[in-house]
Chain A
Amino acid sequence: MLRYISRRLLLTIPLLVGISLVSFLMMHMAPGGPIGAGTDLNPKATAESRARLKAYYGLDRPLHVQYGRWLGRMATLDFGDSFSPDGRPVVEKIRERIPITLTINVLSMGLIFLVAIPVGVYSAVRKGSLFDRISTVAVFTGFAIPTFWLALLMMILFGVKLGWLPISGISSLDHESLGTLGKIADRGRHLVLPVLLAGFGGLAGMSRYTRSNMLEVIRQDYVATARAKGLPERTVVFRHAMRNALLPVITILGLSVPDLLGGSVIFETIFAIPGMGQLFYQGVMSRDYPLIMGILTIGAFLTLLGNLLADVGYALADPRIRQG
């Protein structure tokens, strides 16, 4: 097992280099460049000032030299400085965005698991029942409704009409003057709508997945055996059927690892959340090369790591795979 893991880890290095090379080339093929935001259609930007800006950011070098320099820095885990006017280190910009994105994603994912698995199991066990049909409609509604529209409706209801919850942002204006508990409560109130909404949208996938797996497992011989032994239905469903049906969830968890740090642009825009989605979107729009590369590399690394974790976890949980 250890040999397997270390081999897989070593394999990620050429993969990461390959991914970064492709990202780098794609990014440079996109029209425009980092200095465009300040100089396009700007009467004060002369050809000379453009050339100086390009030289300042090293954009006048050939592409392979630029990539080589980036790769060299990355080898020492130096992500470089952002090309945006504030010129701060990329790592710092990413680090200040991670907590909020991670919090929302972990909470909404927790919510999804908490709701979707019971719903999926129950509607499989009672296939065709009223509950099954209603829950199917409900989760697909959540999946199909445009997030931004539902978000606005909820903001109007809970924020404007009822006044229970704040509408946007992640803290109140008087946040700094609150005590520790007050601060936590303030954050919490701001998170309710985003988390609920993200959760609602994600219910469909997970609950349908659980349901179909459960239906598969319930037809298996060992479930019939368990029933034949006279075991109570509870034990049959939860011990014998559900545990097997949920095995593939490990894969889903593994594949979700990169999603934990990836924010949704639409979502963050509508709720004015300064998260990873907006950071990346703004980075792309202003062609902030170091920032784009930094986020893409982290995303690629997490994806590979998540795949590995899923494979390992699956092997640990399912003897058939371990022996195979």
Chain B
Amino acid sequence: MHVLPKHLLEQYSDISKSPLNKKPVGTGPYRFIEWKTGEKVVFDASPDYFEGKPYIARVITRVIPDQATMFLELKTGGVDIMTLTPPQYVRQTETADFRKSFNKYKYTASGYTYLGFRLSHPWFREKRVRQAIAHAADKKALIDGVLLGLGQEATGPYKPGTWAHNPNVRKYPHDPERARALLAEAGWKEKGKDGILKKDGQRFEFTVLTNAGNEARAKTAAILQQNLAEVGIAMKIRTVEWAAFINEFIDKRKFDAVILGWNITPDPDQFDIWHSSKTGPKELNHVGFANTDVDRLLDEGRGTFDLEKRKKAYFRIQEILAEEQPYVFLFVPEALPVVHHRFRGIVPAPAGITYNFVKWYVPEALRKHQVQP
């Protein structure tokens, strides 16, 4: 929900036509000043903010679509704060020059990447197959290859280090031997000449879908492809433009498996993702996960304010998810912001760095820009 300013909107019979769509008015620490489409948005500190007027008088958000360009702008002073990519963080910023001018930060991002199965698929309906794939996936290699080490293994849908996260669930260490054994138990015993497993004359071959333009997911797919080939599963990769991906494949359940990611919200309620009533078209339980215990626990978790009760419910949900593996939870990346060194008052916390932005300041001697009153 957003707070809407009644005194400014009541004069418009159709609020979708009000000028506030382009010139928003809110209650935050900064006031909207100007928006140049495709170029920049300008904000000035609000003297009426409830935590006091922010020290930094003006904030400009620039629109720079290309990551490489943004990085060059950072180096020449056109940008003071941005988020680095893992290669930029590891390889392009480890110079004495850079360290003198910038401070790099690192904290666990609120999101995770997963391999999700369509659970109505005849092969993936079998739990042991999903567990086998979880054992086959080399999460360490994924984190090293995709994130250059800047991330951690995901064990469930919550952010490590937060109250809802259960660190003691069943884990799936990289173990091709175990994966092969589980597959054999599930009936995938025969092996074709090409090394691909067979059952009732069918080769174990499926297609994983992911959206085009997401480099991390494409790399994840490539590494998983190798991991699975090792245990005798042929995984094909297909990338599709976002709108087509959602409408033609996800919504119509026309996929074997997908590589996607979710944001992790501050509140752990994930009713929309895991509840069995949310498997309809356009709903978010697109893998079709249905588990009566999880359904009940989700209801419990969202039905009380008692933190201990909620925690118990979500811990149990994570145990079930870890056992069932409707997704193979892959990794949680690190967020990698970088800020020019003249900004002070930054106190990194699990929530990141911008939570206390109103207290950031630049010592007088280092000030670069002055706002003309």
Contacts and interface: CB of A to CB of B under 8 A. Distances in A.
B272 interface: yes
Given A32-B244, A167-B69, A285-B243, 8 more contacts: A152-B69, A159-B76, A168-B69, A168-B73, A169-B64, A270-B66, A272-B39, A285-B242
B72 A43 contact: no
Interface residues of B, number: 33
Contacts of A33: 243, 247
Given A43-B272, A170-B39, A173-B60, A155 B72 contact: yes
A274 B69 contact: no
Contacts of A18: none
Interface string B53-65: 0000000101111
A96 B284 CA distance: 38
A86 B76 contact: no
Interface stretch (B15-23, B202-210, B310-318, B337-345): B15-23
A50 interface: yes
Interface string A123-160: 00000000000000000000000001000100110011
A216 B305 CA distance: 86
A274 B282 CA distance: 33
A41 interface: yes
A159 B72 contact: yes
B90 interface: no
Contacts of A272: 39, 62-66, 69
A303 B69 CA distance: 33
B37 interface: yes
Q: Which 8 A/B pairs are nearest by Cβ-Cβ distance?
A: A274-B38, A32-B243, A43-B272, A31-B244, A31-B247, A272-B64, A269-B65, A32-B247
Given A87-B17, A93-B37, A271 B69 contact: yes
A233 interface: no
A40 interface: yes
A145 B39 CA distance: 27
Interface in B231-281: 242-244, 246-248, 272-273
B120 to A, nearest CB: 20
B36 interface: yes
B76 A169 contact: no
Given A31-B247, A32-B247, A155-B72, A168 B64 contact: yes
Nearest to A151: B69
Interface in B338-371: 369
A168 B246 contact: no
Nearest to A155: B72
A252 B122 CA distance: 59
B244 A169 contact: no
B13 interface: no
Contacts of B273: 43
11 contacts: A32-B243, A32-B247, A97-B37, A156-B72, A166-B78, A171-B39, A270-B68, A272-B39, A272-B64, A274-B36, A278-B38
Contacts, number: 104
A279 B38 contact: yes
B11 interface: no
Contact of B282 (A50, A87, A163, A269): A50
A54 to B, nearest CB: 12
Interface in A261-284: 268-272, 274-275, 278-279
Interface string B307-327: 000000000000000000000
B53 to A, nearest CB: 22
A285 B212 CA distance: 12
B127 interface: no
Contact of A160 (B66, B72, B242, B369): B72
Given A30-B243, A86-B22, A287-B243, A168 B39 contact: no
Interface in B1-54: 16-17, 21-22, 36-39
A88 interface: yes
Interface string A160-179: 10010011111101100100
Interface in B52-96: 60, 62-66, 68-69, 72-73, 75-76, 78
A110 interface: no
A167 B66 contact: no
A167 B78 CA distance: 8
A22 interface: no
Contacts of B369: 173-174
A173 B21 CA distance: 24
Contacts of B60: 173
A47 B72 contact: no
A265 B307 CA distance: 50
A278 B60 CA distance: 21
A205 interface: no
B292 interface: no
B372 interface: yes
